[in-house]
Amino acid sequence: MKLVILDRDGVINFDSDAYIKNPDEWRPIPGSLDAIARLTQSGYHVVVATNQSGVGRGLFEMATLNAIHDKMHRAVERAGGRIDAVFFCPHAEDANCGCRKPKPGLLEEIGRRFNTNLKGVPCVGDSQRDLDAAAAVGALPMLVLTGKGEATRRENRMPPGTLVFRDLAAAVKSLAACRT
């Protein structure tokens, strides 16, 4: 099975230090929807893995998070793509749960649900926690320089073997070149 795991904020859509708290605040990064369509058309199962502590902090309700994800799904479908599943951690950082990235629980759950080993699975994120979670399960960490990506690269703590790309479109173009 061809699987790719994407972070949401800063990879697919513009991020906000004040959180994406409603569907109107969810705005795709140029090229990201077409990149997901290209993955879909290349036979990939596209899964989103995202920390959404705004739920745990009481900034928005689950119904709002579902509405944001519905908007994302519809936008991707209009571009000709598909997101097969969205996995999220709703907990605030102080909850010390196992599913909040950089812990690997969210990605491990994806592996269980899709009945696949995540070794070498491309895992695209813009933050250190995305890269660390990917490395913890043996996935291939891929950093995009959108969102928090530039700051993450400057910190220079990336796991060995991390690939770096301008944005999701460039990362997907690289994957397509490697898989042909």
CATH number where 104 lies? 3.40.50.1000
pLDDT at residue 179 above 60? no
| Cβ-based neighbours of 28, under 8 Å, separated by 6 or more | 12, 13, 14, 72, 75
Number of Cβ within 10 Å of residue 67's Cβ equals 16
The number of domains in the chain is 1
| Residues 31-38, mean pLDDT to the nearest whole number | 98
Average pLDDT, the chain: 96
Q: Label residue 176 by pLDDT band (50, 70, 90).
A: confident
pLDDT at residue 153 above 90? yes
Query: Residue 155 sits in which domain range?
Result: 3-179
pLDDT digits (tens, 9 = 90+) for 52-104: 999 999 899 999 999 999 999 999 999 999 999 999 999 988 899 999 999 99
pLDDT of 180: 44
Sign of CA dihedral 134, 10, 91, 89: negative
Cβ 133 vs Cβ 106: under 8 Å: yes
pLDDT of 166: 98
CA–CA separation, 75 vs 128, rounded Å?
Answer: 27
Cβ 114 vs Cβ 45: under 8 Å: yes
Residues tagged active-site = 7, 9
CA–CA separation, 120 vs 21, rounded Å?
Answer: 33
Cβ 87 vs Cβ 47: under 8 Å: yes
Cβ 142 vs Cβ 158: under 8 Å: no
